[in-house]
Amino acid sequence: MALRYWRFAQSYYVKDHRPTGSLPVIRVALRYLRDCYGHTPVADFGPLALEALQLRMVGDDLSRSTVNGQIACIRRAFRWGVAKQLVPGAVLQALQALPGLRKARTPAREPEPVGPVSDEVVEATLPHMPAVVADMVRLQRWTGCRPVEVCILRPCDVDTAGAVWRYRPESHKTEHHGRERVVFLGPKAQDVLRPYLLREKTMYCFVPAESERKRRAEVHERRRTPLSCGNRPGTNQRRRPKRFPGDHYTTASYRRAIDRAVELANRRAAQDAEARGEEPPASLPSWSPNQLRHTAATEIRQRFGLEAAQTALADAAGPPAPACDTNWTRRCPRPPARRSDGLSGS
């Protein structure tokens, strides 16, 4: 049953012809199920067996929320098995009786909450980022959108009519629930985005290849060695690199670029302090793009209330959003998928 469910999941949990983030979670859950009960008939698998898996995950130092998520994946696998007449319905009903791990009532460790990143940390990191990545950070900070929504932004998805622009992502997290996603762009976000709209409507705004070209141009401007000596521009590149800059950033390459900027900022601060004979300053903490969303949500909530923050970040529960405005009809096809691995510094 686990093998058949995995084959189903590989074809079901796909978005824009790419696997979603649910597949790694399902793989880990099914691995626990296979290792412990791979040769057990499905009719003999009950709440005690599921509880044994739960305790083993806790013993492997998985956090409480992670354990609950893995157990939920196993229940979904058995629910699918019932629908395919592979599992008796009584088995699924019995598995529902096992409660999830409750906070402060289990030995499982509690995960550290993801909080906002301070604007001071962000401002200290921005000078060490490539220009394109820095603009992505600024845009996400002013809008509170998700990292993937910044990565896939295109000019054809932005309605520039009116004082407040509207960005409707071509693909978003809750579209399979029939919801519409609208990101509102105010004056600060418009100033960041305006130069990137002067390109083909179907091209992505933030392109790793452009970022890499700008980075190399900046390095060349800081060059002190005469062109007649040393390496000529472009001669020290690999002939067959393993990775190429793609046509848009992914959430993984976006986060890697931020991580490299934090490391560079800390290294240069330590070098400057050493040159002055001073004690090295406190290191900047590592932060992720999702924390920018938390920062925007915290600011909106403090100024306008919880409901405004939920509405702005599309986290409010309720019925699906109404259809798009009929005055805004500029939609365009998604370009074919290409490799999106960035180069160093892109």
Residues 172, 285: one domain?
yes
Name the residue range of residue 16's domain: 2-95
Task: Evaluate whether residue 237 is within a structural domain.
Answer: no
The pLDDT of residue 234 is 61
Angstrom distance (rounded) from CA 143 to CA 153: 13
DSSP bridge partners of 159: 166
Q: In which order are the strands placed within the sheet that holds 165-167?
A: 158-159, 165-167, 183-185
Task: Evaluate whether residue 339 is within a structural domain.
Answer: no
Task: Evaluate whether residue 333 is within a structural domain.
Answer: no
Residues 177, 265: one domain?
yes
23: domain CATH number is 1.10.150
The pLDDT of residue 235 is 64
The pLDDT of residue 320 is 40
Domain count, the chain: 2
Strand ranges (E), the chain: 14-15, 18-19, 158-159, 165-167, 183-185
202: domain CATH number is 1.10.443
List Cβ<8 Å contacts ≥24 apart for 193-202: 193/135, 193/139, 193/153, 193/158, 193/165, 196/135, 196/153, 196/155, 197/155, 197/158, 197/160, 199/155, 200/155, 201/154, 201/155, 201/156, 201/330, 201/332, 202/154, 202/156, 202/332, 202/333, 202/335
Please write the tens of the pLDDT for every residue from 237-278.
Answer: 666 666 666 778 888 899 999 999 999 999 999 999 888 888
Residues 91, 179: one domain?
no
Task: Evaluate whether residue 236 is within a structural domain.
Answer: no
Task: Evaluate whether residue 112 is within a structural domain.
Answer: no
Task: Evaluate whether residue 228 is within a structural domain.
Answer: no
Residues 275, 137: one domain?
yes
The pLDDT of residue 318 is 40
The pLDDT of residue 160 is 92
The pLDDT of residue 220 is 62
The pLDDT of residue 310 is 80
The pLDDT of residue 230 is 64
Backbone angles phi, psi at 204, to 5 degrees: -75, 145
Task: Evaluate whether residue 107 is within a structural domain.
Answer: no
Task: Evaluate whether residue 89 is within a structural domain.
Answer: yes
Residues 166, 55: one domain?
no
List of the chain residues with pLDDT < 50: 316-346
DSSP per-residue letters across 102-114: PTTSSSSPPPPP-
Residues 162, 257: one domain?
yes
Residues 161, 249: one domain?
yes
